Structures are given as structure tokens and as C-alpha cells.
Structure 1
Amino acid sequence: MTDQAPPVPASAPDDGSSARDGGASLRAGVTVIAVLLVLAALWFARELVAPLALAVVLVVIVHPIRHPLERRGWPRWAATTVVIAVAYLILAVLAALLVFAGVEFADLVVDVVDELQAAVASVAAWLASVGLGEQLADATASALDPSALLDLAQGLGGWLLGFLTAAFFVLAYVIFMAADAARYRRAERAFGAGIRPRLDRIRALNSSVRRYYVVNASFGAIVAVIDGLALWALGIPIPAVWAILAFVTNFIPNIGFVLGLIPPAVLAFVVGGVPLLLVVIAVYSVVNVVLQVLVQPKFVSDAVDLSLTLSFFSVVFWTFVIGPLGAILSIPLTLAAREALLADRDGWLRWLSGNAAISSPPVSPPEPLDQDSPAG
């Protein structure tokens, strides 16, 4: 009986799927490496990138002013000048508010050093009395150490120098980008009708950014006025500074309310003890929960189709990449990154990020967009 070799199964014909899979994996790997290199470059150049991002947002917000002026016959250079002037006015108002808040805070720290030391001593003694241990008491005392606040107040000079340097770049960027925005309307004539879908996405992105900041500025102003008046009625020192802080932190998604609450709450504890601390926390909680949690999201959701998880992560991520300004610019930066990375290729990834337009069509027709330029 002769041994017979087992039959060799016939190999399936190669239809090229393995090559395609290998090519897709290679492209995915190259994309990941490219993204990491871009993020590393942004981190190293954050002192230049952060002012650039702020300037881009400012130009996007004020650019629509150009269109009614040009329709009335204004020359292009005059309309550009108005756009630049309005952007500079916004920067001037913000700078004045920040400088005022910084000076008032520095004076306050000097005035309440004795009260703060007494409050720190009482907190440390209470922690030790309830058996939380000396280490926790020491940690709390060091966190509330008046010398740390004094160092912060004395470091306002260095902060102001950095602020002025960043402001210089912002002012320059605004001029260049406002001038360049006037020529974007010629993109379709230069590249043909095939570029129209991309221009439409840019217009939609810019419109979303504008609506987001208009809504946040409106609700931030309401929150700031209510919080400031409440703090003034409760006798909390420099309520105007804490109102400014509430307005600024309203632009930080999810955690802005907490950041705006901590300083006035600590000050309330210093000047009035635990009862006043609880009152301030209650007032802030009622005002901010009603406006920022229950009302504001209904107006923001149409402009920002991002999941809550992604919104929170974007604050941490962009703050790490470009610094503190990244917390305020986190939403438009995330929207721009989503458009650049996902575009129209990965609908399910866009849906996971919170874009509701992927899963369900809009109930009403979208807001008409200005067709003159991508910035419109």
C-alpha cells in the first residue's frame, strides 16, 4: 500500500484585498504619526500658536461686518479697516477688564493677608481636631498659604509682559488675516466649482464658531451681572473682579463654573466664615445651573455638535497643547480639528463625536450662509 500525500487545498485567488488592507493600515499609521508631529510642533510653538488661534477666532467673528459695508458701496480696503478696528476694540475691552481685575486682585491680597492667615490657621486646626491627620492639614494650609497669593500678586508684572507680547502677535495676525479674508471669495473662480463643497464646510464651521461665541458672551454677561450683584449684596470684596471672572470662565466648557466659583468662595470664607461660604456656593450654583446647564445648552447645541465627553476632553487637551488660552478656544479648535481629520470620510466617527446631523436630518432648513467668502 503506497502512502499518498494529502491533497493540497487550492488557494483562493488573490483579489487584492490584502494589499488594500495593508495600504489602509499604512495610511492610518502615517496619519497618526503626522498628527503627533503636528501636536508636538504646536506645543513647542504654543507662544505663537495661541495668539494666532485667538486672532483667527476674532476675524471669523467680526468678518461678516464686511458684507453690508461692501453692499453699500464701501471700497474693500475701507471694509477691511472696519473689520480690523472692531477686532481691536474687542481686544481692548478684554485687555482693560483683565488689567483692572489683576490690579484689584493684587490690592485685595495685600489688604486681607491677616484675615487669610487667620482663616488658614482655623482650617488647619479644624482638620486636626476631626482626626484627618497632620499631613492633610499641612497640605490644606500650604494650598491656602498667603505667601503663595502674594507671589501670585507680585508676579503680575511678568504676566503683564507675557500678555503684551501675545497681544502684539494678535494685533499683527488680525491685520494680515482680515486683509487676506477679502480675497477668499475668489477661491471658486480660481479653483473651479469642485472646491465648492469644501468652501461650504468652511462657511458652516465659521458660522458655528460665531454662534457659539455670541451665545456664550450673551449668557456670560447675564451670569456675570447676577453673580456680581449677589456678591455685592453679600459684602464680598471687589465683586466686579469676580463678575469679570464669571464672564471669562463662561467660555470654558463644563469646568468654567467651578473655576469662577473658587476665588469668591474662598474670599467669602475668609471674611465671613462657613455660613457666608455656603451662601456664595448656593447663589452661584442656582444661577449657573439654571442658566449654564438648563438654558444655555439649548442655544449652543445647534452651533456645537460635540459630545459632553469630547467637550470636556477638549478643554484639558488644548490647555496642555497651547496653554491657558486653549481652554477658552477649545471648542472652535476641536471643531476645526474634526473637520480637518474626519471630513466626510468617517461618518460614524463624526456621529460618536456628537455630530447629530449624521444620524438625523435637520428638522428645518439650515440658516442661509453668506456665499461671498469662506469666512462669511
Structure 2
Amino acid sequence: MPPGMNTENEALPPLAAPDQTLSTWHWLLGGAALVVLLAGLKAAAGVVTPLLLAAFLAIICAPPLTWMRRRGVPGSVAVLALFVAVGLAFFLLFLALQGAVESMAHQAPHYQARLFGLFDETMAWLAGRGVPAELLPDRPPLPALADLTGLARAVAGGVGQFTATTFLVLLAFMFLLLEETHLPGKLRAAFPRSRRGGVRARRFLRSVYRYLFIKSATSLATGLLVGVGLALIGVDFPVLWGILAGLLNFIPTVGSILAAIPAVLIAFLGLGVMEGLLALALYVAVNVVIGSVLEPRFMGHTLGLSPLVVLVSLMAWGWVLGPVGMLLSIPLTMIAKLALEAQPGTRWLAIMMSDRARGH
């Protein structure tokens, strides 16, 4: 040791500070990049939204495509069959949805008059029980009759206008299906020396295929059960409520509540208290059986999202892509979570996004 050096009084510089500063800058740059990316997606929402819908359709149809190819069906024939099936489903869906919304527009005056009648009866009952008149509202906080009917007709017109973008969605869907037939070979060529990277990529794709296929199947089952059940009860517009229940099933918890409110209200106004309670019981039974029993059984318990993550996803994707973004928010967030799980360095982020603490 050189003379004059005092090892006790001379402190060594901290080694962790540069690494901490670098890590902080990485997080700040990553957050800024994420904000710029979301703003860019919002600016290009008119193009991004159809492509996202086509991508989700292609992912959902990947298992049937693989199944047909394993049975010896040529790739082009399998793609054409799926294209025709999905196109026909879109056509029938839009016809049913537009017819139901137009019928609701015609019957809106009847339901609003019934609602005002029940409101007046309730206010009279409260006044008879001694509630001061100044505390009772004069009318329910609802839009005027002309506004409600015009809103229903505007929705019907919007459904018709949305069919104009269907061709673009189906066209992109067909090309994405053709791309999926070459994806395994591309993965092998992309990771010729990194076997672990290829395995991770294939595992991630299988997880995405499995999640979206099972979620779509359970959403379809939810819509069918709700629509058929409401039709048996006698509730008006069961096709509309079934479609709404199936679409909103992609949003955990909140979607089921939002789907049930208008249908149960229509049941109460149009049929009575008993039918309204039956409609409410139907929604509860379907969502408990499918959401709490079947989905966890087929998907596994590792695919849950934190309620805070669900809320932030709805707000963020709704801001970026509008109503379609809110419907796709949870699948998009789940895909991001699966991508984080596929890499050891980011697996801790996937755990933080989960609904409970689990090892991965």
C-alpha cells in the first residue's frame, strides 16, 4: 500500500448510483416512447382499427386453419373457406343488429312513456310517505323523447355505415390468413441459431392463439345463452342484447354489468317485475358459469388481469381507438402481458399486471 493513503477516512464512490441513474433514464425514455406510440395510433385510428380487427379475426381462425391443413385441405382452399364463413357471419350479424336497433327506435316512445308512468307512481308513493315535495325531482334525468328516438335511429344508421369498412377488414383478414400458413417457416428462418428465441416466439404465439380462441368461444356462448334465454322470457330485442352480451364479455366484470342494465330495464318496463328478475337471474347465472367456472378451467389461472390494469386499459385504448378500442382493450393488454411473460427479463411486469401474486 502506498504511504500516506488513509483507507479508513477516504470513502469509496458509490457504485450503484450510475446504474440507478441509467435505469431511471431508461424508464423515462420508455414512457415517452409509449406516449408517442399511443398518440401515433390515435392519429392513424382510421387505418389501425380495421387492421386490428382483421388481425384478431386471423388469430381466432388460426386453430381451425391448422386443423383443416392437418386433415389434408390445401392452404388456399382452407383460407377461402374461412373467408367465406367469416364474411357470411359478418353479413348476418349486421343484418340482425340493424333490424333490432331499428325496431327499438320504433318502440322507444312506448318504453319512455312506461318509464315516466312508473316514475310518477314512485314520486306519488314517496310523497304519500311524507317526503318533502322540494326533494322530489319533476322528471327522471333522461333525454327528451325525440332525442331518445333520434339516438336509436342514429345507432341504426351507424351500424349500416360500419358495414362500409367490412370489406377492408375481410380483405386484410384474408391476407393475414395467407401469411399464417408461412409463419412457422419464417420463425425457423428468423431464429436459425437461437433455438431458445424460436421456442419463446412459438410459445408466445400459441398462448395468444389459445387465449383469443377460448375467449371468443366463451363470448359466443355467452351471447347465444343470453339471447335465447331472453327470447324465452319474452324480452324485446333479444338478438340485440345477445350480441351486446357477447361483445362486452371481452371486458371483465364491467362488460357484464353494462350488458345487463339495458336488457333488465327493458324486461321490467315491458313485462313486469317477475320477468325483470328472471332476466337479471339469467345474466348472473350465465356470467357465473362461463366467467367463473368455464373460462378459468380452459385458460388456466395465470391469465387474470388486475382490476386497475383493466381500468387503465379501457381508458387508454378507448382514448386511442374509440369504442372499438374499448372492446379490444383487454385482448390487447392480455397479448402484451403474454409477451412480457415470454421474456425472463420482463416477467416481473407480467406478474405485476396479474390479478394476484403467482409464480410464472
Calculate the TM-score normalised by the size of structure 1: 0.77
**d(CA) in 2 for partners of 1:231 and 1:157?**
21
Aligned residue pair count: 349
**d(CA) in 2 for partners of 1:235 and 1:66?**
39
2:289 maps to 1:290: yes
Aligned-residue RMSD, C-alpha: 3.5
Do the aligned residues in 2 keep the contact of 1:211 with 1:303 (CA within 8 Å)?
A: no
Deviation, 1:30, is: 0.9
**d(CA) in 1 for partners of 2:84 and 2:277?**
40
2:37 maps to 1:38: yes
Which residue type is aligned with residue 259 of structure 1?
A: L
Do the aligned residues in 2 keep the contact of 1:50 with 1:323 (CA within 8 Å)?
A: no
**d(CA) in 2 for partners of 1:147 and 1:195?**
65
Superposition map of 1:267-346 within 5 A: 267-301=266-300, 304-338=303-337, 343-346=343-346
Superposition map of 1:149-188 within 5 A: 149-156=148-155, 158-160=157-159, 162-188=161-187
> 76, 86, 95: which is aligned to 1:99?
95
Deviation, 1:305, is: 4.7
Deviation, 1:245, is: 2.6
2:86 maps to 1:90: yes
Identify unmatched segments of 5+ residues in structure 2.
1-7
Which residue type is aligned with residue 20 of structure 1?
A: D
Q: Report the equivalent of 1:349.
A: 349
**d(CA) in 2 for partners of 1:182 and 1:293?**
35
Which is worse superposed, 59-68 or 321-330? Answer: 59-68
Deviation, 1:39, is: 0.9
Deviation, 1:106, is: 1.3
Which residue type is aligned with residue 10 of structure 1?
A: E
**d(CA) in 2 for partners of 1:175 and 1:329?**
20
Which residue type is aligned with residue 347 of structure 1?
A: R
Q: Secondary structure at the match of 2:140?
A: helix
Superposition map of 1:44-123 within 5 A: 44-67=43-66, 78-123=74-119
The 3 A distance-change label for structure 1 pair 298 and 313 is farther
The 3 A distance-change label for structure 1 pair 112 and 189 is closer
Q: Report the equivalent of 1:365.
A: none
Which is worse superposed, 337-346 or 38-47? Answer: 337-346
Higher relative contact order (CA 8 A, sep 6+): 1
Q: Secondary structure at the match of 1:140?
A: coil
The 3 A distance-change label for structure 1 pair 268 and 69 is closer
2:196 maps to 1:200: no
Which residue type is aligned with residue 176 of structure 2?
A: M
Which residue type is aligned with residue 102 of structure 2?
A: A
Deviation, 1:110, is: 0.9
Deviation, 1:182, is: 3.4
Identity of aligned residues (%): 26
Deviation, 1:334, is: 0.9
Q: Report the equivalent of 1:372.
A: none
Which is worse superposed, 24-33 or 290-299? Answer: 290-299
Q: Report the equivalent of 1:371.
A: none
**d(CA) in 1 for partners of 2:103 and 2:11?**
83
The 3 A distance-change label for structure 1 pair 118 and 211 is same
Do the aligned residues in 2 keep the contact of 1:228 with 1:243 (CA within 8 Å)?
A: yes
**d(CA) in 2 for partners of 1:202 and 1:236?**
47
Deviation, 1:12, is: 1.2
Deviation, 1:319, is: 2.7
Deviation, 1:34, is: 0.2
Q: Report the equivalent of 1:29.
A: 28
**d(CA) in 1 for partners of 2:117 and 2:161?**
35
**d(CA) in 2 for partners of 1:218 and 1:349?**
28
**d(CA) in 2 for partners of 1:257 and 1:132?**
37
The 3 A distance-change label for structure 1 pair 97 and 194 is same
Q: Report the equivalent of 2:255.
A: 256
Which residue type is aligned with residue 92 of structure 1?
A: L
Which residue type is aligned with residue 169 of structure 2?
A: V
**d(CA) in 1 for partners of 2:208 and 2:132?**
47
Which residue type is aligned with residue 109 of structure 2?
A: V
Deviation, 1:59, is: 1.4
**d(CA) in 2 for partners of 1:68 and 1:279?**
40
The 3 A distance-change label for structure 1 pair 304 and 135 is farther
**d(CA) in 1 for partners of 2:108 and 2:159?**
23
Q: Report the equivalent of 1:20.
A: 19
The 3 A distance-change label for structure 1 pair 98 and 292 is farther
**d(CA) in 1 for partners of 2:201 and 2:50?**
21
Which residue type is aligned with residue 321 of structure 1?
A: V
**d(CA) in 2 for partners of 1:115 and 1:161?**
24
